[in-house]
Amino acid sequence: MAVGDGRLPPLAAVAGVRLGTASAGVRKPGRRDLVVIELAPGSTCAGLFTRNAFCAAPVQIARDHLQRSAPRYWVINTGNANAGTGRPGLDAAREVCAALAGNVGVATEQVLPFSTGVIGEPLPAERIVAALPAAVEALDADGWRLAAEGILTTDTRAKGASRVLRIAGRDIAITGIAKGAGMIRPDMATMLAFVATDAQVPQPQLQTLLEAAAARSFNRITIDGDTSTNDALMLAATGAAEVELDAAALYALGEAVAEVCIELAQALVRDGEGATKFVTVRVEGGADAAECLAVAYAVAESPLVKTALFASDPNWGRILAAVGRAGVAGLDVGRVSLWLDEVLIAEGGARAPGYTEAAGQRVMDREEITIRLHLGRGDSGETLWTTDLSHEYVRINAEYRT
């Protein structure tokens, strides 16, 4: 199940980036499950990682290497998260980094590892190491599409996005790929995303730009409320376009990176495990952003709301109940209004006078729905994207290790 047609858009090559995909048989023989991404010398790199305290070995190693070096390679495996594996897991991640570094002639610290898949099982580093030469041999500037497929786990389709800017007479490309369908509530979910541009951006500015983009995209989605042990969002700037960015151009680049991240983040939600609906939760009229987000997440992560969405049941009482338990101090329920798309359902603490069940049902029968709430407390607003909760979600996660 997934929402929308899911066709992968054209992905622009980014000068200074090559990608290679191979099969290591990490969990399933013959499956493309290993991706190597090469960054040109002189590239800058920014990253955001899971806030889960039980973070995976590759997250720990990638954080360390990012602080110590200018990364030249990212190596990603699926099928095994290398999380909950203790010291042997750290050793396995380092072994993969060292092996790739030896293959391509860079320092081990210039390789960042990423893993996704089953938690708690030893990483079969020897299989990955054996497949690295094939991935390196496959390095290609047009390798984005295969790489997008090679990083998937329970996803049903590849996810990618591109933008091209015209700056100072030169084209600047921004392209990204992502994976994730369950265990998704990024707090920079098993979410991985890799974005690159051929613009020239100093590392501190690149990090600021990435954090701003994440706040509008990956940190505004939830499928099941679970933050993964392995989340990572990476952004590289190769500088190969040889264009110096003034303040206006840097702002335009930031907006384009945010657009790519939003498109990728929404693609994750559309492909959420068992998803049949794409749901926007918009909270307006809050006193501040924090309380708007608290209300939005309470609604978006409520099992009762999500199962009603799956049933296409306009059970609006469940939405109001979620708002009421969101912890907003001094909330006056008499000032709260609720819409499903264009239909006003509740106001003044009760059913709206003009609301009919038939009108609510027309909205709930749609594949894409907006739940909009106005709290009547101020001028702040926040938006999240989420899914319904279906039988298929339960089946996928009940059978994940079988």
The residues that are catalytic are 190
CA pair distance 190, 185, nearest whole angstrom: 9
**Nearest partner of 120 among 33, 231, 34, 229, judged by Cα:** 229
Which residues are registered as beta bridge partners of 195?
Answer: 176, 235
- Interhelix angle 57-68/86-104, nearest 10 degrees: 50
Question: Which stretch of DSSP H or E encloses residue 21?
Answer: strand 17-22
Could you tell me how many helices (H) and strands (E) the chain has, helices first? Answer: 11, 15
- Interhelix angle 86-104/125-137, nearest 10 degrees: 20
Residues 21-39 as b or e (16 or more Cβ within 10 Å = b): bbbbbbbeeebbbbbbbbb
Quickly list H helices, 81-232.
Answer: 86-104, 125-137, 144-150, 203-216
CA pair distance 132, 275, nearest whole angstrom: 34
Q: Where are the beta strands (DSSP E) in 230-379?
A: 232-237, 278-286, 337-340, 343-347, 350-351, 368-374
Q: Where are the beta strands (DSSP E) in 248-314?
A: 278-286
